[in-house]
Amino acid sequence: SQQGEEDPQALSIQEGENATMNCSYKTSINNLQWYRQNSGRGLVHLILIRSNEREKHSGRLRVTLDTSKKSSSLLITASRAADTASYFCAHRDNFNKFYFGSGTKLNVKP
């Protein structure tokens, strides 16, 4: 399977703290993406990092990529209760199929 693995599976933090989620994947990639899924909703694209990039920022999001270790991390700084959701890493292969990780369920307590 080309699906990635994410850890932790679940993360519970207080509002204002930082949340870090990790993703490992198995194949070579052109880019890696992170998605967010609110309860009962579809996945929404958050940020993409290309294989030749090591770090990328978007607002309170910071993504890193280590292609030698086939891993990525998503950091959400100064978390808010509204950040409570599941977060998935994903990549698109050369056949244009999307593969998603197992997801990290984040709970931010107010």
Partner 1 sequence: DAGVIQSPRHEVTEMGQEVTLRCKPISGHDYLFWYRQTMMRGLELLIYFNNNVPIDDSGMPEDRFSAKMPNASFSTLKIQPSEPRDSAVYFCASSFLGAAEAFFGQGTRLTVV
CB of 42 to partner 1, least distance (A): 3
Task: Please identify, using beta-carbon distances, which residue of 9 and 12 lies nearer to partner 1.
Answer: 9
Q: CB under 8 Å, gap of 24 or more: what pairs does 59-64 form?
A: 61/34, 63/32, 63/34
Backbone dihedral angles phi then psi of residue 97, each to the nearest 5 degrees: -85, 145
Contact (Cβ atoms closer than 8 angstroms) between residue 56 and residue 49:
yes
Q: Which is nearer to partner 1, 15 or 48 (CB)?
A: 48
Nearer to partner 1, 48 or 75 (CB): 48
- List interacting residues with partner 1 (CB under 8 A): 3, 31, 33, 40-45, 48, 88, 90, 92, 95-103
